[in-house]
Amino acid sequence: MTAENIRELARRCGFELAGVAAAVPAVDRARYHEWVAAGRAGKMGYLADRRAAVRDDPRHLLAGARSVISAGKLYQTPWPHSTRFHEAECAWISRYAWGEDYHDVMRRGLARLDGLIRESAGAGFESRICVDTAPLLERTYARLAGLGWIGRNTCLINQSQGSWFFLGELLVTMEIAPDAPPLDRCGTCMRCVEACPTAAIVPGQGLDATRCISYLTIELRGAIPEEQRGGVGAHVFGCDICQDVCPWNGRAPVTDDPAFAPRQFAPRLEELAAIPEEEFRAMFRGTPLIRVRYSGFLRNVAVAMGNARHEKFRAPLERMAESGDAVVAEHARWALGRMAP
């Protein structure tokens, strides 16, 4: 098997990008541990606990692994970017979460790829499928596999196709000649740094996750720091701004894969504030939004309403301020405090 064979099989499985890296200790492992030690992972314990050391070497996940097959699946759909959408009464949901949970989509594709490789290889081998829940520095191996470079915004960027990609890996005990990493082509561009409302992208240091809107609206449990709430804007789940403004995404292709078509594109904040928990679960079942949980979702809706400052949001915020959930109630009171007297 060659890397070109792998790419052809990957295309048959629906992946636009694919490549091969050697299954050796990650070249970025020291920088990763320094990033965690500096506290930039915030309260994402799964990045700092015992699993942090596992990320150093793919062979911790599959003993005898010789190659890391990295695959990228395009998820950009032909809908507006957040920087071109200005409906002040609506919520913004990150593009990656509009449709089906990408973990399921990627695992299905990688399982099919595994099967096709087995048919073509003519020899047995062991394998393990990894998506981003596995402790693996996947962007590092995607870069080494030639899929793109890691941009200033810490996203993997492909020169011809941009950064709107989900990544997944197939670890195999088969040795395949690896690809070569591309050059970093961010140059002196600072658009993502300048566009980030919460100054989460720190030049020379990477992403400070504790300031990132995606972290604040998804990963962080409990209260969002008050000084960060204004920068969250209308985002109720994740953020796309640093990708929206990236010049390499200016001509990025789109996909017609129905798995990524939006179930709820920019829903109205007033409607979201009134959703009972059972309806929330039903509406977003099978999508990444379930991760934020009902309480976190309402917390984010309250912040977005406070940032919009529409008088029509006063009544729903007053109801939320009476919530039995202390976090939701506190964020609703904060939002009411931003309304005109």
Three-class DSSP labels, 132-171: CCCCCCHHHHHHHCCCCEECCCCCEEECCCECCEEEEEEE
Q: Look up the domain containing 165 and give its range.
A: 3-76+99-172
Number of H-type helices and E-type strands within the chain:
14, 10
Residue 275 within any structural domain of the chain: no
Percent of the chain with pLDDT over 90: 87
Phi and psi torsions of 333, nearest 5°? -65, -40
Q: List, for residues 215-256, the tens digit of each pLDDT value.
A: 999 999 999 999 999 999 999 999 999 999 999 999 999 999
Instruction: Give the closest residue to 306 by CA, choosing from 238, 226, 192.
Output: 226
Residue 178 within any structural domain of the chain: no
Q: List, for residues 260-280, the tens digit of each pLDDT value.
A: 998 888 999 999 999 999 999
Q: List, for residues 298-327, the tens digit of each pLDDT value.
A: 999 999 999 999 999 999 999 999 999 999
Instruction: Give the closest residue to 317 by CA, choosing from 304, 300, 335.
Output: 335
Region of 154 please: left (phi>0), alpha (psi -120 to 50) or beta. Answer: left
Length reported for the chain: 341
Half-sphere exposure of 284 (CA within 13 A, CB side): 22
Is residue 50 pLDDT above 80, yes or no?
no
Residue 68 within any structural domain of the chain: yes
Residue 199 within any structural domain of the chain: no
Which residues are annotated as catalytic?
Answer: 132
The predicted structure's pLDDT at residue 79 = 86
Residue 322 within any structural domain of the chain: no
Query: Cα(65)–Cα(33) distance, rounded to whole angstroms?
Result: 23
**Residue 53 or 278, more confident:** 278
Residue 161 within any structural domain of the chain: yes
Query: Cα(25)–Cα(81) distance, rounded to whole angstroms?
Result: 37
Residue 301 within any structural domain of the chain: no
Residue 241 within any structural domain of the chain: no
Judge if pTM exceeds 0.75.
Answer: yes
Structural domains of the chain, count:
1
